[in-house]
Amino acid sequence: MTRVSPAVPGGRAGSPTLDAVPAPVALTAGILFALAGAALVVVAVLGGRSRLRRNRWAGVRTPATLASETQFVAGNRAAAAPLGAAGAIALVSGIVLVSGPRGALGWVILVVAAVAVLVLVGVGGVVGDRAAAATPAPAPFSGACGGVCGGCDLVAGCRESVAARLEQAAE
């Protein structure tokens, strides 16, 4: 398979034209697109179902979304549609690149898919950031125990112990 086609009649003599995606490039790009597409689809599905928790790697990660768990969930829920579309485009284009055309159509698919995925991921990030910024932050904890408990799950028991201490102090 050649990368450069012979000079065409009527064209400039000796001017090469690039007409085929080299097999290693198509295979590598196709596999990378398919893997990235699968990852984006998984993140979109988890974000859309509010099952994606704050983490180091996946989801919309902006200062607004990382402010609280509530804002992270709201931002990723809002970004699920564009991220899912980007993932679907990347997945399909990866499969097409691995199994499909090697001519000029391969370059068109590669470039259009890359631009579409980048634009949709950017749109998802902006939408998620705006949704997280519009979501009110949860109120800070104002427990009745005054910080003497070992954890929030002990608040009910802590209230009783604080009330008992107050009664003992009053006696």
Count other C-beta atoms under 10 Å from residue 164's C-beta. Answer: 10
Domain ranges of the chain: 4-139, 141-171
CA pair distance 50, 59, nearest whole angstrom: 11
Which of 171, 145, 141 minimizes the C-alpha distance to 160?
Answer: 145
What is the pTM assigned to this prediction? 0.69
Helices (H) and strands (E) counted in the chain, each on its own, are: 5, 2
- Residue 153's pLDDT is 52
pLDDT digits over 65-112, tens only?
A: 998 899 999 999 999 999 999 999 999 999 998 887 777 888 888 899
- Residue 15's pLDDT is 46
C-beta of residue 89 within 8 angstroms of C-beta of residue 161: no
Which of 164, 134, 160, 137 minimizes the C-alpha distance to 149?
Answer: 160
- Residue 103's pLDDT is 78
- Residue 150's pLDDT is 56
CA pair distance 38, 24, nearest whole angstrom: 21
- Residue 23's pLDDT is 81
